[in-house]
């Protein structure tokens, strides 16, 4: 099988590339960012890396034409980007997705689209099943630009599905693990790890009572590959997650305990971190029944086990 992974140089994308290479497949990674997460793959003759953007349609078209399946992960991700540069979020996530889908439809190639739990917004009814309503705040709130961009991508996926394109939409819930982000940057796990490994105060945005369901990367990748391989997944939206709620305060406590850090846990006002253009979501919980039924997958790795492996990874990187 020949596989194209847009955004394959990122966290989840690098693991998807790795998993397909382990199957004996040929993998092309298209990414505009740094190659750090795929450096260990560059010597593999079955792996190729193209440094370009999904907005370059002639390039995307040529790569899609050679693939059997396309994983579309390329996107602008991260709360810091939602509030700092919503234009980039909307431009890349909406227009880049249209480019990939247009080329895939032209060549008749299956697409697995990487969406997000953010599309549910602040719907108070949990757990969230795939057909539940989206509940968002004002369009003046930059925080919702990412959710909107991914929902627009989903709409384009299903518009192309009506034209005959085989497509699967995956909504990921807080995937974490080795190679996640740089310490102190990106998602809450790496922010907390950066603080803990330096014995600095761990800062809870708000009071830490918000809950999330954390999904270890190996579980997410296993489900993602099944979404590409199983014909019954075509045309579906599927939550990818582990439906075990953890408060952000509990996450901080786990990071401190597992890392042996002397960090203290402190609360900081949301406005001091993200400004006024942000709204948090109190609870985010997936209904994973469809993932289990259609993909035959269940997230098995518990938070402490996954965090321990993630901490070990960042400690090894720091020593290199």
In a domain, 204, yes or no: no
User: Which residues does the annotation mark as catalytic?
Assistant: 146
Within-domain flag for 307: no
Structural domain harbouring 133: 2-179+214-242+286-300
Tokens of 311: 């901490």
SS (H, E, C) 24-46: CCEEEEEECCCCHHHHHHCCCCC
**Looking at the domain assignment, is residue 309 inside a domain?**
no
73 in a structural domain: yes
pTM exceeding 0.75: yes
Q: Rounded to whole angstroms, what are the CA distances from 290 to 90, 116, 119, 131, 229?
A: 29, 16, 17, 11, 16
Task: Report yes or no: 254 and 196 within 8 Å, Cβ to Cβ.
Answer: no
Pairing between strand 26-31 and 175-176? unpaired
Q: How many domains does the chain have?
A: 1
According to DSSP, residue 230 is labeled -
- We report the CATH number of the domain holding residue 171 as 3.40.50.720
pLDDT of res. 187: 87
pLDDT of residue 186: 72
Phi-psi label, residue 191: left if phi above 0, alpha if psi -120 to 50, beta otherwise:
alpha
How high is the mean pLDDT in each 10-residue block of the chain (320 residues)?
A: 97 98 98 94 98 97 98 87 81 97 98 97 96 94 91 98 98 96 82 94 92 98 98 98 97 97 90 63 96 98 98 86
Residue 111 lies in a domain: yes
Identify the pLDDT of residue 320: 65
For residue 122, being part of any structural domain is answered with yes
CA distances to 8, 34, 51, 64, 103 from 3, in Å:
11, 20, 16, 9, 15
Assigned domain for 54 exists = yes
Tell me if 99 is assigned to some domain.
yes
């Amino acid at each position: 099988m020949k596989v194209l992974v847009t955004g394959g140089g990122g966290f989840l994308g690098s693991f998807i590339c790795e998993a397909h290479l382990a199957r004996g497949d040929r993998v092309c990674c298209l990414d505009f960012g740094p190659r750090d997460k795929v450096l260990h793959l560059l010597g593999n003759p079955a792996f190729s890396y193209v440094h370009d953007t999904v907005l370059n349609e002639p390039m995307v078209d040529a790569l899609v034409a050679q693939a059997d399946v396309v994983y579309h992960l390329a996107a602008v991700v991260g709360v810091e980007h939602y509030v700092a540069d919503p234009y980039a979020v909307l431009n890349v996530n909406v227009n880049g997705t249209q480019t990939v889908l247009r080329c895939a439809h032209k060549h008749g190639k299956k697409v697995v689209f990487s969406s997000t739990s953010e599309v549910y917004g602040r719907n108070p009814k949990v757990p969230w099943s795939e057909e539940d309503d989206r509940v968002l705040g004002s369009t003046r709130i930059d925080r919702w630009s990412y959710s909107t961009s991914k929902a627009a991508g989903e709409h384009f996926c299903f518009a192309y599905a009506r034209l005959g394109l085989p497509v699967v939409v995956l909504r990921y819930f807080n995937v974490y693990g080795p190679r996640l982000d740089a310490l102190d940057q990106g998602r809450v796990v790496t922010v907390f790890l950066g603080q803990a490994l330096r014995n600095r105060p761990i800062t809870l945005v708000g009071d830490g009572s918000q809950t999330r369901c954390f999904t270890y990367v190996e579980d997410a990748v296993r489900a993602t590959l099944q979404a590409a391989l199983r014909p019954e997944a075509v045309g579906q939206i599927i939550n990818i997650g582990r439906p075990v709620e953890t408060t952000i305060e509990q996450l901080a406590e786990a990071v401190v305990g597992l890392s042996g850090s002397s960090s203290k846990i402190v609360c900081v006002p949301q406005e001091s971190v993200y400004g006024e253009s942000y709204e948090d979501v109190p609870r985010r919980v997936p209904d994973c029944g469809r993932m289990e039924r259609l993909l035959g997958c269940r997230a098995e790795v518990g938070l402490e086990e996954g965090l321990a492996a993630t901490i070990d990874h960042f400690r090894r990187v720091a020593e290199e």
